[in-house]
Structure 1
Amino acid sequence: MASGNDSQTSRFLLLGFSEDPELQPLICGLFLSMYLVTVAGNLLIILAIFSDPHLHTPMYFFLSNLSLVDICFTSTTVPKMLVNIQTQSKAISYAGCITQMFFFLLFAELDNFLLAVMAYDRFVAICHPLHYMVIMNPQLCVQLVLVCWVISVQHALLQSLMVLWLSFCVPLEIHHFFCELNQVAQLACSDTFLNDMVLYFIPVLLAVGSLAGILCSYSKIISCIRAIPSAQGKYKAFSTCASHLSVVSLFYCTGLGVYLTSAVTHNSHSTAMASVMYTVVTPMLNPFIYSLRNKDIKKALETIQESIALELRKH
């Protein structure tokens, strides 16, 4: 195949984790289980929030959006991998690869921005409790989510369009289980200097900006909590942040782990294994973190469980 971004560049090959046929059923079963748990757990969080009027607050509005994004985030990569394993095919079309890349970048950035917005929400709730509902009014909440979407779409579109300008050479083999932007760019025959600049500079800028917002919010939160006289009051204030802090730590630590792995080892297999943590494991664990640490969510889930049990007894 000649180099060039033309009709001959019709497909890529996703090599995944292993070419050993004996390991394929194990990999398929493991990822199918994690995917089903991720979808079910996040759907339950969304259902609990929408079914309980007590949870119709800004904090849970952002949480429901985060759960929806986590479902979409995992759905951009895992189903295609499972289909390829079942059909014993490693192929993904050129258009399919670019589309997968676009949605992966979109939902990854949405996760990033929503965590920053949730940190701001906790800052207002703890540092300005009397004005919380006035500041975090429904209109502002919707606007914040829309801003997250607009910036994320623009970033994903920019990165995807820049890949369209590249010319590719054989073999078009991606040593990953999905069309990861850096892996695809490495297959290009044409000059990738501009792509590399955009690839590394903009995501780092967006991630650092969001993380800076989170750290700024929590620095002010810590100052406010330290000013609370009673130990019980301090614990109550901090407990409202515990779940969010756990999710933030998990998201950024796994993302940083993937970035460092790809930068230090240059080993595609190691990078693919590390990517599982933030593409699959993190979205799967988020519902458990919020349900186990949040009494309101646990109560709403128990109400749903009781309602389902009652309906089953009726039938």
Structure 2
Amino acid sequence: MSEGLPMRVPAEGLPQRVRIHEVGPRDGLQNESAVVPVEVKAEFVHRLAEAGLRTVEATSFVHPRWVPQLADAEELYPRLADLPEDVSLPVLVPNARGLQRALALGVRSAAVFASATESFAQANLNRTVAGALEMFAPVVAEATASGVPVRGYLSMCFGDPWEGPVPVARVVDVCKELLSMGCSELSLGDTIGVATPGQVTALLHALGEAGIPAGRLAVHFHDTYGQALANTLAALQYGVTTVDASAGGLGGCPYARSATGNLATEDLVWMLRGLGVETGVDLDRLVATSTWMAGALGRPSPSRTVQALAGKTPDDARARPKES
């Protein structure tokens, strides 16, 4: 399908391969007002894996009162047991109770969700930044002792709807705290999508100066002002090789109303393919998956690439293959 693939024109200074950390099933769906059936969620994860994504964030073991959409975590996770072992299925664990629920199901990768700002820490976790870190420390320690690596999400790294621009030094300090407690990777979040490439480069440089290499970092951009791809490219040029994205551009944040959708995985794959950067993702299958999910949600996908390619996807990419 030549019209569905960009021309490859490799650029200097970029990694040969990027790992996409797919967040659609968790971050993408968590803010949906209508509960998505667990069967649809399981099918979504399977389709994403079949499209070549090897890290698919499955769900969150948060209290159902806080995120009702993800109240079915215990029912969903066992439905994913048939996926290949090379497909990582990380889950969010907000506290010790969430970790225990996850470990009981044999989860092999987890994440905690911190904030760089006091306002968002209070809105999201009802704690101060220091209080949240104190809560996460034993969670990370127990998970690590159980052989489960923990990713540290850090939200509001560039701007906060209540506090405005976030000082780089504050972000660096919280990053250092998360790494010191044992997080294996840090995901830098532009939760309300206000960052620009210069800010991204400045933060990455400051983290490098503080002894935190690009290899320990991922980036998580929202596209509120249309800057997500530009910010991603700036991060790749600095040496970051892990990028968070959500199939079809799904997602937002229930505690930050100005946060619109995540960077669409299809838009990211289109750009990376054109730059000659490998991802292992089959774009046809991914577009078919997001088109299917948009139908399940009853609205069109916000992804520009999905909009451009929908209807041009080969028939053999539109349906999930039958089990043999």
- What is the TM-score with the length of structure 1 in the denominator? 0.25
Larger of the two Rg values belongs to structure: 1
Higher helix share: 1
Higher strand share: 2
RCO higher in structure (CA 8 A, sep ≥6): 1
